[in-house]
Structures are given as structure tokens and as C-alpha cells.
Amino acid sequence: MTDGARTATRTGHPLREVATHCPYCALQCGMVLREEDGRVSVLPRQFPTNRGGLCQKGWTSAELLAHPDRLTTPLLRDPASGELRPASWDDALAYIAAGIRDVQRRHGRDAVAVFGGGGLTNEKAYALGRFARVTLRTRHIDYNGRFCMSSAAAAGMRAFGVDRGLPFPLSDLGQADTLLLVGANPAETMPPLVRWLTEQRQRGGKLIVVDPRVTATARQADLHLQPLPGTDLAVANALLHIALTEGYADGDYIATRTTGFTDVRRTVAGWWPARAEALSGVPVADLEETARALGTAERAIVLTARGAEQHAKGVDTVTGFVNLALALGLPGRPGSGYGCLTGQGNGQGGREHGQKADQLPGYRKIDDPEARAHVARVWGVPADELPGPGVPAYQLLDSLGTPAGPRALLVFGSNPVVSAPRAARIEGRLRDLDLLVVADFLLSETAALADVVLPTAQWAEEDGTMTNLEGRVLRRRALRPPPNGVRTDLAILADLATRLAAPGTTADPSAVFAELRRASAGGIADYAGISWARIDAADGVFWPCPREDGPDAPRLFADGFATPDGRARFHPVEHRPAAEEVCAEYPLYFTTGRVLAQYQSGTQTRRVAALRQAAPTAFVELHPDLADRLGIADGEPVRVSSRRGEFQAPARLSPTIRPDTVFAPFHWGGTARANSVTNDAVDPISGMPEFKICAVRVAKAGPPGVDR
């Protein structure tokens, strides 16, 4: 299938197949979709990232295409009854256009905001950013990837001058002699990746996991460091302290390929292992074993993920592990390096082409005059008419409906009612808007609040590209058109631009990608040399790729870094406490994460029968000793409360969690919404909220608002 699709007949029945990719995580596993007699099934496909393997979410992904909850007509809120009622596309889009004009007339252009998602194709992410800045001329756009990869992205940019989750192919993991995973649980978040961990250990490599919980990944490790939540940076500085003390640092690499090492050496001199043990709970012997395993390995890789990043000091924490990797001479060394496990399906591409508040396509800074001039030429508008930087996602959401904030919001591919920190507060902000528009294919918790809901195409019904965690640009191919009454996001944006009498993009994804290539040309994330035809002829194309007749870049940093002088930057970083410490009223640490059978806010996976059976409800994981002290039995409903809110779920007792910490997955809404309690303190550089630690109390669930 050179074009990725074929149509045939078998025993007289029409059959169509298309080679595409899973709609869920950033691993973007290759798969084949087959439609026969209207029924769609998923088949395995050999692809470099997953080599034919899929997780349960991937195998069941086609079930949502014909789900009874599927939205197939626009919905408008009836002013008399307050209910959402079916409407025509013309009425729905006319209502939106009139509402946008009215809000901007009364409150200014920035009174309309746009909120996107890390699951949108590159074409849709690009079109959304263009729509905000050219059609609406608002500075207010951001996306839910701010809650995912922003801290690692900022740390990568300031150290290497480029942000690409993995600057090497995924297969390098299987060849590493030592692999350090910090705050990563791929056994549950992206299971097909585990085959590389298995290969690594079968070769005799050492797997070390840093995580406050004994996760499915930690159970496979040769060594598990179990720090107190929020103390990963102390661990990173202690590991570097040991590496320097024991002579593991690569002096030639530091001298010739980096700058800023002296200040970092001075900072980590104070992080002797016993100090880190007292703070984090990680034994000195384990810290020394980890530093030795990294420092003596021929090929070593350090990976961070959400556990290290979703903190109000997430950028500094990631930087601490980048400093460690640089001191050991790993980035750019064959088979070694530092990387980050991107979470959402297009978390990488989604942040490269214009959804972030401060960026233009190609990962250009929006306040850079040269960047503005280049993109404005592609868009055919004066550079001085482009708005300036907006604000990060949580700040944007928290300003909605306030006197100084936006009065209207358009949401594409996101469900902040469940996914945002301090979620009850954000839900209230959404209710305060003059106009809320949500484009989705299911009625999410956010869509249920909207004034207008627009039914959109699903992943198997549209063409486009995605960029996976390796920086590999892939082709998403349509198996069939969307159902009658359903439109693509690109078609919606194009129609709205026409109704607003303002420049917009076309509904044709191939034409949008062609424009994206021009807009990204010369930028950090340069896609100019990547065409759909080139992707179709290979297993994807790695950016940067500036020329169609030139090579792509599966591995970065061999010859230098994307900084003015070609050197990587060390940055001294000091541990600081969590934004909220435990106290007598809230004596326990709370942290969140994922489970194998659910994904993100659960809008999709909670509707798939097999996944719902595997993980039917939320839960609160706590240590048996803590449960005994609180008089809580396994399976008993409990209430978790913080200064911001509360949620309820059954208790799940586990001797592997720290006795001072409780955990809950964040995939459920309603009374089981874990993000009702999470802290909305944010990292000052990345805008990342502190999802991974806050102070709570736990009690048996009594009547609402009452613990017993």
C-alpha cells in the first residue's frame, strides 16, 4: 500500500484498508484499519515504534467510530429551557459568528480566546493558531499541552536550543547499558514501548526508575528510587554531586561542548547524598548505585516524564537531570542522551506550529520581529497586525469571564472541566462566559456546558499528519468520510473565517500542510522538506528537514546544539519546597497519574466497554497502615479534600505506596474528579501547574461536605 490505502473485494463483500496510526498517545503506534460491510476493525502493522504491538486502547480504538453517543448534529442551547437542542450548521455557525462579533465589539479583540489540544493533527494545530491570530486577531490562545510537556520543552530549549521529546529514535532505548526513567510509567501510559525496556534488560542493561509509587514500570526495574513527591530535583543534584566526586564526569565534553558548568558545580557541591536522603527518603546507597551505573556505562540514557515535570518547579527539575546528562557527556553521544516521553498523541507537533501562547509556526517566538515578519508574509498580513504573546493555559482559563479576561472561548480537542487543576474553579469560569463553543465528537463535560457544540470528524475520518515523541512526522489517513452532519475542524474554521469576513485557511488538509511547510521554513521545527509523498515513501520523516532533497534528522546534537555558539547550556538549579506543604489540617501528600485502560480526561475511553470493564471507576490508593489509622477498609468510599475542593472514590489499599502519600487517577469527572483538589500553582517559566503534589486529608465518605 504505497499510498497507505487500498480497496478490494473478498467473497463478494467490499473491503477497504488503510495504514494509519493509533489515536491515543505520542507513541503513535502503526496500525491498519479495515472496513468490511460497514464494520471497522483494527489489525496489527509493522512500524518502527511498536513493531506490530498495540495496547488495549489501540485494539479497541475503532469502537468509537459508530458509538451511540457520537455527536452527528450541531447543538444550540435553548435560552428558554437551558437545554442543548439540535440545530442546523447554518444556524449554529451564524450564532457563533454573531456572538464573536458582539463580544469583540463590546470588549475588544482579546475578549475572544481559543483553547486547543495536543491530540489535533499538525494541520489543525496550525490552522487553529492562524485562525486566532489572523481571523480573530486575539492574543489569547493556548492548549492542553501546557499541562503535559511544557516544563520539559522549556528545559530543552534553554539547554539545547531545541525542544524535541526524543532527539534519537526510540530503538536506542533497547541498546542502552543504563536507562534512567524519572517520573515515567510507560507500562501503563504507552505499553508497546515496554518492548524496548525488555530488550534493554535482556541485553544485560540496567533499568532504574525514579517514582514515588511502585508502578508497573518500577516493578520491572533493577533499581527503584522511591522519593517523596516533589523532591526529584534534590535527587538530580545529589546524583550529579556523586558523579563529580567519583570522577564520572566527562571533562573534555564539558570543556568543548557546553557552557555554564562552573556555576552548576558550585551549586551541587552542597547536595551531598546524605542531605538528599534526608529530604527525599532515597537511601545514599541507591543514589551512589545510580550514579555509578550511569557514569560507567558506555551507552546511557536519561528520560523524564510527567512525574518530574508537573510541578511548580518542573523546569528546574528537568534541568537538574539535563545537567546530569550533560556532565556525563550523554547528549549527542551514539546510543546515549537525554529525552522526554511526550504524552499526548500530537503533543510534539501540537506545540510546534502555533497553539502555544508565545509561539508561531516552526517553534518561532511570537515576540521575535524576524519570526513575525516571516510568518506574516506567508499569511499575507502586515506583521504589525499580528497580536503579541498571550498567557499560559491555566492563567487563560482562570481569567475567563472576569472583567479583565476573555468573554468568549472556542475549544477544540480539549476537556478542561476534567483536566485542569482546581477544576471546580475552572468549571465556574466557563459558566461565566458570554459564549462557549466546543467542537468535539462526544459530549464531554466541557461540551455539556457549551452554548454551541459542533460535531467533528474522528481520527479515522480525516487526513493529516502527526508528530510522535521521536520528532517523526507521520501520516494519519482517512478510512472513510465522516458521517452525514459531521464536519472536520478545518472545515469549521474555514467556514467561520468566511462568516467573519476575515482571512482563514482552507478545509483541505494537504493545502494546509503545504502552507505549514512554508511558515515553518527556517524555524527550529523546520518542516519545509517534509511532504506527504515523502512520508508515504518511508516510515515517517524526522524534523528538522529543511529541504525535500536533503536528509532528515533522526538523531540530533552529534555535531552541535541549536544555540548561537553550538554549545549546550548548563543552568544551576536549587531544590525548593512544593508550593503547598502538609500540615495538621491536611497531613498527606496527594499525587495523580494514569491507569492502563483509560486515557486523559476519559471522554473516549470511558465509553469503550472493554476499557470500562478493565478500569470501571476511579480509586484512591493508600497504604494499609494509613488506612488502618483512618479506619478505612479496602473498597470503602473515601473523600479526599484539599484547600481547593474534594472528590470521592473507593479506597484501594497497596503496601507499595508511601504511607504519607495517596494517589488517584485523573480520568474521571463528576464527584470522582481528582483535579478538584490539585494545586493551581504554576511554574514561573513554563506555566505548568503543580498536578503532582498538594496537601490533602482523607476520610470515610459521609454526606457531601462532611467527613466522618
Q: Which of 519, 468, 558 is nearest to 149 (CA)?
A: 468
pLDDT digits (tens, 9 = 90+) for 594-612: 999 999 999 999 999 999 9
Mean pLDDT of 683-700: 97
Q: Using only the alpha carbons of the chain, give its radius of gyration.
A: 25
Query: Do 600 and 442 meet the contact criterion of CB atoms below 8 Å apart?
Result: no
pLDDT at 279 over 90: yes
pLDDT band at 343 (very low <50, low <70, confident <90, very high): confident
Strands 112-116 and 141-143: parallel
Which are the contacts of 412, defined by CB distance < 8 A and separation ≥ 6? 114, 115, 116, 117, 120, 124, 128, 439, 456, 489
CATH fold label, 5-66: N-terminal domain of TfIIb (2.20.25)
**CA 647, 648, 654, 658 torsion: positive or negative?**
positive
pLDDT score recorded for residue 370: 97
Cell numbers found for residue 158: 534553554
pLDDT band at 149 (very low <50, low <70, confident <90, very high): confident
pLDDT at 1 over 60: no
Query: Do 596 and 191 meet the contact criterion of CB atoms below 8 Å apart?
Result: yes
Mean pLDDT of 87-105: 98
Query: Do 693 and 230 meet the contact criterion of CB atoms below 8 Å apart?
Result: yes
Specify the DSSP class assigned to residue 34. Answer: E
Cell numbers found for residue 225: 528510587
Strand order in the sheet with 452-455: 84-86, 75-77, 452-455, 435-440, 408-412, 112-116, 141-143
Write phi, then psi, for 418 (nearest 5 degrees).
-100, -35
pLDDT band at 38 (very low <50, low <70, confident <90, very high): confident
Q: Which of 35, 63, 62, 2 is nearest to 480 (CA)?
A: 35
pLDDT at 238 over 90: yes
pLDDT at 384 over 50: yes
pLDDT band at 157 (very low <50, low <70, confident <90, very high): very high
Write phi, then psi, for 36 (nearest 5 degrees).
-140, 125
Instruction: Name which CATH class applies to 588-700.
Output: mainly beta
Range in 7-16, 141-150, 532-541 the model is least confident about? 7-16
Specify the DSSP class assigned to residue 16. Answer: E
pLDDT score recorded for residue 703: 61
pLDDT digits (tens, 9 = 90+) for 455-464: 999 999 999 9
pLDDT score recorded for residue 258: 98
Q: Which of 76, 81, 82, 116 is nearest to 96 (CA)?
A: 76
Strands 178-182 and 300-304: parallel
pLDDT score recorded for residue 217: 97
SS3 105: helix
pLDDT score recorded for residue 405: 97
pLDDT at 9 over 70: no
CATH number of 150-340: 3.40.228.10
pLDDT band at 4 (very low <50, low <70, confident <90, very high): low
pLDDT at 214 over 60: yes
**CA 341, 344, 345, 346 torsion: positive or negative?**
negative
Cell numbers found for residue 294: 550511569
The DSSP string of 107-173 is H-GGGEEEEE-TTS-HHHHHHHHHIIIIII--S-EEEGGGGTTHHHHHHHHHHHS---S-SS-GGGG
The proportion of the chain whose per-residue pLDDT surpasses 90, expressed as a percent, equals 95
pLDDT at 18 over 80: yes
CA distance 305 to 175: 20
The residue ranges of every structural domain in the chain are 5-66, 75-148+346-462+486-508, 150-340, 588-700
Q: Which helix (H) or strand (E) holds 77?
A: strand 75-77
Mean pLDDT of 343-358: 92
CA distance 163 to 563: 12
Mean pLDDT of 143-158: 94
pLDDT at 11 over 70: no
pLDDT score recorded for residue 708: 41
pLDDT score recorded for residue 7: 55
Strands 452-455 and 75-77: antiparallel
Evaluate whether 150-340 and 588-700 have a shared fold: no
Mean pLDDT of the chain: 96
Cell numbers found for residue 450: 457549551
Query: Do 666 and 593 meet the contact criterion of CB atoms below 8 Å apart?
Result: yes
pLDDT at 2 over 70: no
Mean pLDDT of 468-489: 97
pLDDT band at 342 (very low <50, low <70, confident <90, very high): confident
Mean pLDDT of 645-672: 97
CATH fold label, 75-148+346-462+486-508: Rossmann fold (3.40.50)
The proportion of the chain whose per-residue pLDDT surpasses 70, expressed as a percent, equals 97
pLDDT score recorded for residue 467: 97
pLDDT at 704 over 90: no
Query: Do 91 and 76 meet the contact criterion of CB atoms below 8 Å apart?
Result: yes
Q: Within its chain, how far is the Cα of 293 from the centroid?
A: 30
Q: Which helix (H) or strand (E) holds 628?
A: helix 624-630
pLDDT at 85 over 50: yes
pLDDT at 515 over 70: yes
For the chain, report the end-to-end CA distance as a whole number of angstroms.
63
Strands 637-641 and 646-653: antiparallel
CA distance 704 to 278: 39
pLDDT band at 6 (very low <50, low <70, confident <90, very high): low
pLDDT score recorded for residue 8: 54
Cell numbers found for residue 219: 516493578
The DSSP string of 497-564 is HHHTTS----S-HHHHHHHHHHHHTTSSS--TT--HHHHHTTT-EESP---TTS---SS--SS--SST
pLDDT score recorded for residue 142: 97
Which are the contacts of 403, defined by CB distance < 8 A and separation ≥ 6? none
The angle that helices 489-499 and 89-107 make with each other, rounded to 10 degrees, is 60
CA distance 200 to 252: 28
CA distance 178 to 302: 9
352: left (phi over 0), alpha (psi -120 to 50) or beta: alpha
Q: Name the burial class of residue 247, with classes exposed (0-12), middle (13-18) and buried (19+) by CB atoms within 10 angstroms of its CB.
A: exposed
pLDDT at 480 over 70: yes
pLDDT band at 706 (very low <50, low <70, confident <90, very high): very low
One-letter amino acid of 240: L
120: left (phi over 0), alpha (psi -120 to 50) or beta: beta
Task: Write down the pTM of the prediction.
Answer: 0.96
Q: Name the burial class of residue 101, with classes exposed (0-12), middle (13-18) and buried (19+) by CB atoms within 10 angstroms of its CB.
A: middle
pLDDT at 13 over 80: no
pLDDT at 162 over 60: yes
